[in-house]
Amino acid sequence: MQNTSIDPSISDRSAFSRRTMVDCQIRTFDVTDSALLARMLDVQRERFLPPELEPVAYSDSSLQLKSDAPGAKPRSLLPPLILARLIQSARVLAGDKALVVAAAGGYSAALLAGLAADVVAVESDPALFEELRVNLDASGLKNVRALLGPLGAGAPKEAPFDVILVDGGVAANLDPLLAQLKDGGRLVTVQRLADGVCKAVRYDKADGATGYRILFDASAPVLDAFQPAEEFTFS
């Protein structure tokens, strides 16, 4: 019979890498939320990545996921330190319902699953969605549901949400997602602003209106669903 146990040395290396990531990357980037730090120590990021990226799972740089879908562009993953600070800025509460847009392999959804009561993870790429579904099933997370659909549409049938995380860059087309926030809800992402500069931002909804604040410097490739419409000029 095949031995399916995990090599203790591999498990130890993973735990050491997570501890190093938290101590040397996350804490030094002003992430102090104890529940989030504990979650980042618990969740094995390599389990939500393809095998070729496992050796760099705890790198502080952006990683790219390649899709087998025809014409699909590689998906850039936010570095863990950017992701952690975004989640901290969202002020996730234990009873919250959260939405992850562009969930890819599911790492950000797995982090939120230990902080919120209910998590919906949306992915538009069929190949990445299959990886997301398999990874979430293997992780045994019971409070996360994976949905296949357009990123820009969010999950209107599951709305409203207390927290929305767009796991990638945006430049436009956020209105459908903002409409899915509860009053008092928060949306966090990395946004390319009108002057072309990228910043991490948080949108807050109060009395039916939304406003945003800049959180910190950050950059991320803009997801296709959140690119501004092309403008045509006539000579």
Q: Which pLDDT score, from 0 to 100, does residue 12 have?
A: 78
Q: What are the structure tokens assigned to 9, written together?
A: 């040395």
pTM of the model: 0.91
Which residue intervals of 65-205 are DSSP H helices? 80-89, 107-113, 126-139, 175-178
Class of domain 8-226: alpha beta
Would the CA dihedral through 29, 34, 38, 39 be positive or negative?
negative
pLDDT per position as a tens digit, 111-129 = 999 999 999 999 999 999 9
What is the distance between the alpha carbons of residues 108 and 121, in angstroms, rounded to a whole number?
9
Q: Which pLDDT score, from 0 to 100, does residue 229 have?
A: 82
Helix (H) or strand (E) holding 37: helix 34-42
What is the distance between the alpha carbons of residues 109 and 61, in angstroms, rounded to a whole number?
19
Q: Which pLDDT score, from 0 to 100, does residue 73 have?
A: 76
Q: Which pLDDT score, from 0 to 100, does residue 4 have?
A: 39
Q: Which pLDDT score, from 0 to 100, does residue 83 have?
A: 97
Q: Which pLDDT score, from 0 to 100, does residue 1 have?
A: 34
Residue linked to tokens 């389990």: 47
- 134 contacts: CB under 8 Å, gap ≥ 6: none
Q: Which pLDDT score, from 0 to 100, does residue 194 have?
A: 85
pLDDT per position as a tens digit, 85-112 = 999 999 999 999 999 999 999 999 999 9
Q: Which pLDDT score, from 0 to 100, does residue 8 have?
A: 44
Helix (H) or strand (E) holding 11: helix 8-21
What is the distance between the alpha carbons of residues 123 and 43, in angstroms, rounded to a whole number?
20
The ranges of the chain with pLDDT < 50 are 1-8, 10, 231-235
Cα 182 to Cα 10, 99, 173, 210: the distances in Å are 42, 12, 18, 11
